[in-house]
Structure 1
Amino acid sequence: MLDSAELVAFAPSTDLDRSRAFYTDVAGLEFIEQTPFACVFRSGATTLRVTAVAEFTPQPFTVLGWAVADIRVAVAGLRDRGVEFLTFDTLPQDTDKSGPRPAG
């Protein structure tokens, strides 16, 4: 029933102006609109609605992700825009934190 419908993704934010700056200036998404309740962006064929919330609790799992042609190029580009990448003990990552550690 929904397989041909356009997907809308949701993410929370306690600061819509800061989120708008991040998703446009850093992530490079197309800005659609901002209301007191949300900022709306376009990423490929997907709409991202960043919804205003009073409180935010970080989740222990990925909330949003993008499939990119070259993860190392994407990581380098985001680093150039000020994004800091984190390492987690439970997830194997290579030394530049851009992907899984090589086997062996």
Structure 2
Amino acid sequence: MLATSDVVAFAPATDLARARTFYERVLGLRVIDENAYAVVFDAHRTMLRVTAVAKVAHPGYTVLGWRVADLSKSVSGLVSLGVVFARYDGMEQDAQGVWTTPNGDHVAWFSDPDGNVLSLTEFR
């Protein structure tokens, strides 16, 4: 029933101005709408609504992720903008914080200003 409908992604934020700065200036997403309840971004033709909340729950897993063509280049670019990539105990990660999955995909994780876990994946 929804196979031909577009997905809308959501991320919570306690401070929409701070979230807008991060998603727009650091991640490079274009703002398409903003109001008191949300900042809406164009995430490569997917609508991302960063929604105002009083408190962000931290589920401990990735809430948004991007497929990238060159993970090393993407990580380096974000690091140059102040993004810190996560390191997880028990996972073998390289110097950039990249983990190689058993099938050879590469993944790196970072957080937005509200602690939402975001990821970049280079599929093999």
Mark the CA change 1:32 to 1:100 in structure 2 (over 3 Å): closer, same or farther. Answer: same
Partner of 1:41: 41
User: Any idea what the Cα deviations from partners look like across 1:50-102, whole Å, max 9, x if unmatched?
Assistant: 01000112221000000000110000000011101110114332122133289
Is 1:81 the counterpart of 2:69? The answer is: no
For residue 76 of structure 2, give the secondary structure of its aligned residue in structure 1.
Answer: helix
User: Any idea what the Cα deviations from partners look like across 1:3-38, whole Å, max 9, x if unmatched?
Assistant: 111110000000000000001000000111111100
Partner of 1:6: 6
**TM-score, scaled relative to structure 2:** 0.77
Partner of 1:30: 30
Task: Give the share of equivalent positions with the same residue, in percent.
Answer: 46
Relative to its length, the structure with more strand (as a share) is: 2
Partner of 1:18: 18
Find the aligned partners of 1:20 and 1:92 in 2 and give their Cα distance: 33
User: Any idea what the Cα deviations from partners look like across 1:31-50, whole Å, max 9, x if unmatched?
Assistant: 11111100000011200000
Tell me the number of residue pairs that the alignment of Structure 1 and Structure 2 aligns.
Answer: 103
Find the aligned partners of 1:2 and 1:92 in 2 and give their Cα distance: 38
Find the aligned partners of 2:101 and 2:48 in 1 and give their Cα distance: 30
Is 1:69 the counterpart of 2:69? The answer is: yes
Across the aligned residues of Structure 1 and Structure 2, the Cα RMSD in angstroms comes to 1.8
| Runs of 4+ deviating beyond 4 Å | none
Mark the CA change 1:98 to 1:55 in structure 2 (over 3 Å): closer, same or farther. Answer: same
Greater Cα shift, 85-94 or 9-18: 85-94
